[in-house]
A and B are shown apart, each in its own frame.
Chain A
Amino acid sequence: MLELVGDGCERGAVGATAGICRELGGEFDVLLEQGLEAVLQTCDAFGDPLSGELAALEGLVACHSYARFEIPGSQVSSGSSVGAAGYARAPVTFDERIRELEDQQGSVLEDHLLYERVIAYAPAGTSPGVNQTFRAVLDSGRVAYHKPFSGVSTVHASMFQQHPDEVPVNECAAWRLAYRLGSPFVDLVAPTVLRDIRGEAGSLSAQQVGRPNDPSPFLLAPRLAHAAAFIDSLIAQQDRHGGNTRWDDANQKLGLIDHGYTFALPGHRLNAAWFVDWRWAASAPALDQTEVDALDRLLGGGDLLGLRAFLLPVAADHLEDRAHRMLAAGEILAQGDF
């Protein structure tokens, strides 16, 4: 039995639809109990190939789709994979997810980002095809970096198979997860909120002091590099390299920045996995007790510590799946295992 549900990106009338799913002669087949009358729009830059597959499903009119229909042990002919979990939930719109994220924001670590006046705001250089970033100086003199939704390059987001409007949301989600998981993760990830500056909504990340591309954490603070590998594995980081880390030698502090290309889905591009690669190469993928406890907390409340309410539903499902798989295996996932 399969239940088809939306992922929040549908247009038109959408209702949960039950049906029978089977594999026959190597082909994926669905007999629906009732038809969907929905036009699905993509939330996945590379959703086109899948939309054709969905169009083959009886009663479903698809121009694009982000929905995945997964059946363990079965292969859809195009190569997509699925889980027959049949996630039943009300459709969530993008605006509703943004409202929910805004509602969750606010803590002693974030409030300066949310409420302080911006006294200086300058573009931080840009090249064609690269996301726009602005350097913001707050009332207290603290510095933060603003990435407006409108400045996210569709070209660059496409390279990572992410919808550009999810990039600032992912930035915030990575922080919120680290914040809710507590030490040592909260100390690694740059605090990030959604904020409107000069009429442009975007993510605003606290500056992380230190040098990029510094391998010192592996030598001087392996405990931090170990934790970074865990968080990158959990959030499905697609592009962790030395350029988006900061090492503060004076304080022996590791800062992780740039979490726009995270919460990836299976099959999405992996470019670099600095910490995950290191931890596996060091034959230390096994979870420690802090990590096991963190995963237990993530899975224990039913709402993924609040992330389910504002992540793309399919991304939340895969976050949950990764956490389960990490617990079951007792180790972090291999690079690119989203």
Chain B
Amino acid sequence: MVELEILIARDQQGDEAAWAPLARLRVDDRHVEVEGDQTVIDFRLPLVSLRTGTQVRFEDDHEEWARSLPTAFRAGDVIVRVLHDDNPIRESELRAAQVERHQVRLRERLGQHVS
């Protein structure tokens, strides 16, 4: 079973954001339950499974699809928080290409001007 909630950012005080729930999704291989705003969850959306690296569709695997839903909300104003997962993806399962990362340093711009 996978249970998650979709949250939207609210007013922020300092370095801690406040979040309000939009919807909650609970799925297992036979049941689907949505509370709240059902329209924010598009069950037709294809997702990329971090576990397998392949595309997963809801109709193929309810739980793996729900588990992968956080990858679809990357912008930061709307996020997915996993509340429960019977079979979570462990860090050791994540596979990534070996790439060299750059140390990026930008110019100081603050205080130059504001339009």
A-side residues, CB < 8 A to B, are 41-42, 45-48, 94-95, 98, 102, 108, 111-112, 114-117, 120-125, 127-131, 133-135, 137, 143, 145, 147, 149-150, 153-160, 163-165, 194-196, 201, 205, 207-208, 211-214, 241-244, 246, 257-258, 260, 269, 271-272
- Could you say which of A94, A121, A213, A243 has the most chain B C-beta atoms within 10 Å of its C-beta? A243
Q: How many residues of B contact A (CB 8 A)?
A: 55
Partner pick for A46 among B7, B15, B97, CB 8 A cutoff = B97
Least Cβ–Cβ distance between A50 and chain B, in angstroms = 12
Query: Chain A residues with Cβ under 8 A from B53's Cβ?
Result: 158-159
B-side residues, CB < 8 A to A, are 7, 9, 12-17, 19, 39-42, 45-48, 50, 53, 55, 70-82, 89, 91, 94-97, 99-102, 104-115
Query: Chain B residues with Cβ under 8 A from A243's Cβ?
Result: 42, 45, 72-73, 78
A133 and B15 form a contact (CB under 8 A): no
Query: Chain A residues with Cβ under 8 A from B115's Cβ?
Result: 108, 111-112, 115
A212 and B113 form a contact (CB under 8 A): no
Q: How far is the CA of A260 from the CA of B74 in the complex (A)?
A: 10
- Taking CB as reference atom, which chain B residue is nearest A128? B91
Interface of chain B, helix or strand or loop or mixed?
Answer: loop
Least Cβ–Cβ distance between B11 and chain A, in angstroms = 9
Apart from A129-B94, A156-B71, A201-B106, what are 10 other A-B pairs with CB-CB below 8 Å?
A112-B114, A120-B13, A122-B16, A128-B91, A130-B74, A158-B95, A159-B53, A163-B99, A213-B41, A246-B77
A123 and B55 form a contact (CB under 8 A): no
Query: Chain A residues with Cβ under 8 A from B13's Cβ?
Result: 120
A124 and B50 form a contact (CB under 8 A): no
Query: How many contacts A-B (CB < 8 Å)?
Result: 170
9 pairs, CB–CB < 8 Å, chain A vs chain B: A41-B100, A98-B106, A115-B115, A124-B76, A129-B89, A133-B75, A154-B96, A156-B48, A243-B72
A-B pairs with lowest CB-CB distance, top 5: A45-B97, A133-B76, A124-B76, A122-B17, A145-B76
Least Cβ–Cβ distance between A14 and chain B, in angstroms = 17
Query: Chain B residues with Cβ under 8 A from A246's Cβ?
Result: 77
- Taking CB as reference atom, which chain A residue is nearest B111? A115
Query: Chain B residues with Cβ under 8 A from A124's Cβ?
Result: 9, 17, 76-77, 79
Least Cβ–Cβ distance between B82 and chain A, in angstroms = 6
Query: Chain A residues with Cβ under 8 A from B47's Cβ?
Result: 271
- Taking CB as reference atom, which chain A residue is nearest B100? A41
Query: Chain A residues with Cβ under 8 A from B50's Cβ?
Result: 128-130, 155-156, 159
- Taking CB as reference atom, which chain B residue is nearest A9? B100
B15 and A122 form a contact (CB under 8 A): yes
Partner pick for A125 among B7, B101, B102, CB 8 A cutoff = B7
Q: How far is the CA of A312 from the CA of B77 in the complex (A)?
A: 29
Q: How far is the CA of A45 from the CA of B100 in the complex (A)?
A: 10
A257 and B75 form a contact (CB under 8 A): yes
B101 and A131 form a contact (CB under 8 A): no
B74 and A242 form a contact (CB under 8 A): no
Query: Chain A residues with Cβ under 8 A from B105's Cβ?
Result: 196, 201
Given contacts A98-B106, A213-B40, contact A258 B74 (CB under 8 A): yes
Query: Chain A residues with Cβ under 8 A from B112's Cβ?
Result: 115
A244 and B15 form a contact (CB under 8 A): no
Query: Chain A residues with Cβ under 8 A from B104's Cβ?
Result: 98, 149, 165, 201
B72 and A155 form a contact (CB under 8 A): no
Partner pick for A165 among B16, B102, B108, B111, CB 8 A cutoff = B102
Least Cβ–Cβ distance between B99 and chain A, in angstroms = 6
